[in-house]
Amino acid sequence: MKQLRLRATLGALIAGNVLACMFASPALASSHREAPFISKNPKVDATDFYMFRSYQAGRSAYTTLIANYVPLQDAYGGPNYFTMDQDALYEIHIDNNGDAKEDLTFQFRFKNTNKDAQFTVGGKKVSIPLVINGGAIADVNGAGINVRETYTVNLVRGDRRAGTRSAVTNANGGSATFDKPIDNIGNKSIPNYDAYAAKHVYDVNIPGCATPGRMFVGQRKDSFVVNLGETFDLINIKAPAVEFSATAEKDAKDDLADKNVTTISMEVPTACLLNATAGDPVIGGWTTASLRQGRLINPVPKSDADVTREGGAWTQVSRLGMPLVNEVVIGLKDKDKFNHSKPSADGQFADYVTNPTLPALVEVLYGAQGAKAPTNFPRNDLVATFLTGIKGVNQPKTVTASEMLRLNTAIAPTAIGAQQRLGVIGGDNAGFPNGRRPGDDVVDIALRVVMGKLCTLSIGCVPGDAPAGALRFTDGAFLDETFFTSGFPYLKSPIPGSPQQ
């Protein structure tokens, strides 16, 4: 019983500290650099995770999974740009029976091949210093590409390490190796990046699925929108609620507006993600990255592929399900521990649950304007939102309290043009926290929920428990569906390093 109470209260902290730790931790965005170890290993740093019923016209029978990695990419970041780590294992996990353990895992491995483009100078062939490319590029593995980045994907059923593993293959030809487009260097190197990237959207055969899915892995415009500067300055948001200013939701800048990110995107037939035996339309999902336990640095490498030697068992170093959890819930000394943990062990973080501080902090800073902290303890409204799912919306038939995104696949997607950026609290049950779409403004949603919005809807509490529950809190950085495309892979083309041709 004590363990159940510990797990239940974890949800209160997961939502209850949504902003309090933002200015106290090294986090830079949704999950950008949120833990000490991961800040030193950006190639395995998961930034955002999305899971939603596909809303592209004619694709409602599919569920889209998007895992973003490698934060804060400056478009001009050459000459190496932002390849994935070929010594890492990237994974997307699905729990389809509510037991907080993975039942399906998509595993991604990357490989970089240096084609060693050379110029003849003074009668000698010399390798070029421009790492990624040596000429204009328009096609998959085109002649101008100097470093070819490829990847493979396996689907594991059961335990991620001991389960049954099968390859995802190209529906056109059957290959198990896929090309990743190089980053958007600029318009001279890649005159039409949209057309070039589109050639890397693959129809794929997924083991056990009668219908092919789709897949894209490559650089995109960073999909997260947040007002970082004012948030970190002791929540120095000039108008933290719409009631304080008619334009509050759009008064601040998006500090990630000029950044790119690397996305792993899959569109999977929804039926393939469900557990037919459980008969439950609700699935949970999260993404992780792992490195080998051992690393030796070669003091005299013979090539760029000979710098280190990796060995030992895979060790998870990054974890992301619900947005904002590690940076806003877990104390600094345990942030790396959380990144190494699994949802089934979330009870170990119970010490961070019992006294959520954000509502009290907001009241101290903005109480004179009417921002009063909720008074219901434990915060069952937040437990439902972040830990178990909301009953009647996205709570599984049987659930083990744990942190992950949960999606009720029986709820039809909301068509483009009709989506409500505030998701469930805005009357759109196809949005966050029922999964997460790119256009869901999770910062504003989380701020309102932590201050008691669900109490006004009688979810886990009553209106009297939340004196400020009806206030429309905001960070001032606006986000909605118009920031994205209407179809797979949904995230917009990356910002070019050089816009001039």
Q: Average model confidence (pLDDT) for the chain? A: 87
Q: Which two tokens stand for residue 438?
A: 């790119």
Has residue 496 been placed in a domain?
no
Q: Which domain holds residue 384?
A: 2-483
Q: Which two tokens stand for residue 99?
A: 């037991």
Has residue 155 been placed in a domain?
yes
Has residue 493 been placed in a domain?
no
Q: If we measure between CA atoms, which residue out of 27, 96, 33 comes closest to residue 408? A: 96
Helix axes 2-16, 442-450, angle to 10 degrees: 120
Give CA–CA dist 441/227, Å, rounded: 12
Has residue 500 been placed in a domain?
no
Lowest-pLDDT range of 206-220, 249-263, 352-366, 476-490: 352-366
Give CA–CA dist 22/329, Å, rounded: 9
Lowest-pLDDT range of 114-128, 276-290, 458-472: 114-128
Give CA–CA dist 81/79, Å, rounded: 6
Domain count, the chain: 1
Q: How far is CA 387 from the centre of its chain?
A: 17
Q: How many CB atoms lie within 10 A of CB 58?
A: 8
pLDDT, tens only, 328-356: 666 677 777 777 889 898 777 654 544 55
Tracing tokens 């599984």 back to the chain, one arrives at 396
Indicate if the pLDDT at residue 229 is higher than 90.
Answer: no
The beta-strand segments (E) located in 342-436 are: 405-408
Give CA–CA dist 390/406, Å, rounded: 9
Has residue 490 been placed in a domain?
no
237 or 96: whose pLDDT is higher? 96
Per-residue b or e along 34-51, where b marks 16 or more CB atoms closer than 10 Å to that residue's CB: bbeebbeebbbbbbbbbb
The pLDDT-based confidence of 173 (bands split at 50, 70, 90) is very high
Has residue 140 been placed in a domain?
yes
pLDDT, tens only, 422-465: 999 999 999 999 999 999 999 999 889 989 999 999 988 899 99
